[in-house]
Chains A and B, each alone.
Chain A
Amino acid sequence: MLRNDKPRPGEFFQRDRSLHPPQYTPGYKTSVARSPRYALLSLENTISEMTGPVFGHNDIDPIDNDLIKNYAKTGDPIGERIIVHGRVLDESGRGVPNTLVEIWQANAGGRYRHKKDTYLAPIDPNFGGCGRTLTDENGFYFFRTVKPGAYPWRNYVNSWRPAHIHVSVFGTSFVQRLITQMYFEGDPLIKVCPIVNTIPDPQAIDQLIAPLDMNAAIPLDCLAYKFDIVLRGRRSTLFENRLEGN
């Protein structure tokens, strides 16, 4: 289902919490002391939540979405060259235009350029590991990068993260704010990852796995993966919206 008309103002659909991870997930140990114990208080939308920051092309630079070039010092980074592309949509299938998408990831060896990452794999002098872009008028976005490596982390003694790219998206409203992770089709570490498995719904996990997209690959240059991101949808204004009252 693809529609190209612009989202119409209206209140947002209630978030379906059953396809998100709950806060308390003992298999992911760090969540135990960082998860609220009381129920969240459900709030109907007000202007404070239905609005959100607006970004424009003066906020970012064109090279920001090219992780192969945006930190290159002496040459290209090491690793499998890939394009990650897709569309930001809402639950009604409409593209979300001009919204900020930010990504970050480890290098091809599984090491982050972060002063707190001490994994023994080497830093790549030509790879920063972050990028950002705005979706176009129909919600499409793309990045060029290298495929990140798996890395070990302290949860169980032998826990490893599958290859993943962290993704942050805004939408048009503060209630749509989302951070997630994109995984790669065929990675055997996905099914044993305690962070992936915080999500109880298998179909919701599948939705985080980007398929190889040979039609978007560039022959003799670059493979491609496709990752669509769905943000919360909004009610159509079939009846008058009384949000502001008066």
Chain B
Amino acid sequence: MPQPLDYLRETASQTAGPYVHIGLAPGAAGFQIFRRELGWDIAGPNAPGERIRVEGIVIDGTGSPVKDVLLEVWQADANGVHAHPEDQRRDQAAEGFRGWGRVITDFDTGLWAFDTVKPGPVPGRNGSRQAPHISLWIVARGINIGLHTRLYFDDEAEANAADPVLNMIEHVNRRPTLIAQRSMRDGSPVYRFDIRLQGDNETVFFDL
């Protein structure tokens, strides 16, 4: 017998279930308990950059909106800096910028939305550069392990064309599933990003 490799094994995932809001967004479950909930303010009031809204619905394999989903958001600031000790430029991070958020869908329509600043490009591997993007993580009843995906911006065509992750998607016709569509509403930019869990135009999800 060789020596044992004494690594521990990662704890298995289980679905967040239908009542995820109780733990992670109790106000939406219908009660007030904590002094403040986490994840409602991604960028803070003072971070530089373009203020944007991102919205969409998550659609299941039957074409219906998923109304009990919870999404988490992780992104760099407008200069491409993450508010994290391992980002070498962390001391340049915008003041008050956290880069993390948590949003839930409307129980009737399935629509979700968050307000943030548009991120800048960030370093990729081996000296490459990644197009501006937001990382998303999706949990819900019926999702056994959280789904990771990325949101890119349709007004960044040049950067997207050079993005190492988008270029890794062999099926070129699936790349647009990761690109949000910009429009203006009441003078402010809104990006639409629908996520399809299954079926036609299934969103590209990642094993990170």
* A and B interact physically: yes
Residues of A within 8 A of B (CB): 1, 9, 12-13, 15-17, 19-23, 25, 28, 30-38, 40-55, 59-61, 64, 70-71, 89-93, 100, 102-104, 112-117, 128-130, 132, 166, 168, 172, 174-175, 177-181, 195-196, 198-199, 201, 203-205, 207-208, 229-233, 242-246
Residue pair B202, A179 in contact (C-beta under 8 Å) = no
Encode contact with A along B192-208: 1 for CB under 8 Å, 0 otherwise: 00000111001111111
Question: In the assembled complex, which residues on chain B have CB atoms less than 8 Å from the CB atom of A205?
Answer: 12
The secondary structure that dominates the A interface is: loop
Please name 20 further chain A to chain B contacts, defined as beta carbons within 8 Å, in addition to the given A34-B140, A42-B206, sorted by A numbering: A36-B197, A41-B205, A43-B207, A43-B208, A45-B208, A91-B7, A104-B20, A130-B26, A168-B23, A172-B86, A174-B74, A175-B208, A178-B13, A198-B14, A207-B11, A207-B12, A229-B11, A232-B10, A243-B125, A245-B127
Residue pair A46, B125 in contact (C-beta under 8 Å) = yes
Encode contact with A along B92-123: 1 for CB under 8 Å, 0 otherwise: 00000011100000010000000000000011
Report the bound CA distance from A44 to B207 in whole Å.
9
Asked if B33 lies at the interface with its beta carbon under 8 angstroms from chain A, I say yes
Residue pair A43, B11 in contact (C-beta under 8 Å) = no
Asked if B30 lies at the interface with its beta carbon under 8 angstroms from chain A, I say yes
Knowing A207-B11, A208-B14, the reply to whether A113 touches B31 (Cβ < 8 A) is: yes
Knowing A34-B61, A34-B66, the reply to whether A25 touches B144 (Cβ < 8 A) is: yes
Question: In the assembled complex, which residues on chain B have CB atoms less than 8 Å from the CB atom of A130?
Answer: 22-23, 26, 33
Residue pair B202, A112 in contact (C-beta under 8 Å) = no
Question: In the assembled complex, which residues on chain B have CB atoms less than 8 Å from the CB atom of A242?
Answer: 125-126
Report the bound CA distance from A196 to B12 in whole Å.
10
Residue pair A179, B16 in contact (C-beta under 8 Å) = yes
Question: In the assembled complex, which residues on chain A have CB atoms less than 8 Å from the CB atom of B205?
Answer: 36, 38, 40-41
Question: In the assembled complex, which residues on chain A have CB atoms less than 8 Å from the CB atom of B165?
Answer: 43, 46
Question: In the assembled complex, which residues on chain A have CB atoms less than 8 Å from the CB atom of B64?
Answer: 33
Closest 6 A/B residue pairs (Cβ) = A104-B23, A30-B142, A245-B127, A53-B100, A51-B84, A34-B142
Residue A180 contacts which of B14, B74, B133 (CB distance < 8 angstroms)?
Answer: B14
Taking CB as reference atom, which chain B residue is nearest A153? B18
| A-B pairs with beta carbons under 8 Å apart, 24 shown | A12-B208, A15-B208, A19-B10, A20-B12, A21-B145, A36-B197, A37-B202, A38-B202, A41-B169, A46-B124, A54-B83, A64-B34, A90-B8, A113-B29, A114-B30, A117-B18, A130-B26, A130-B33, A132-B34, A166-B19, A201-B12, A207-B11, A242-B126, A244-B123
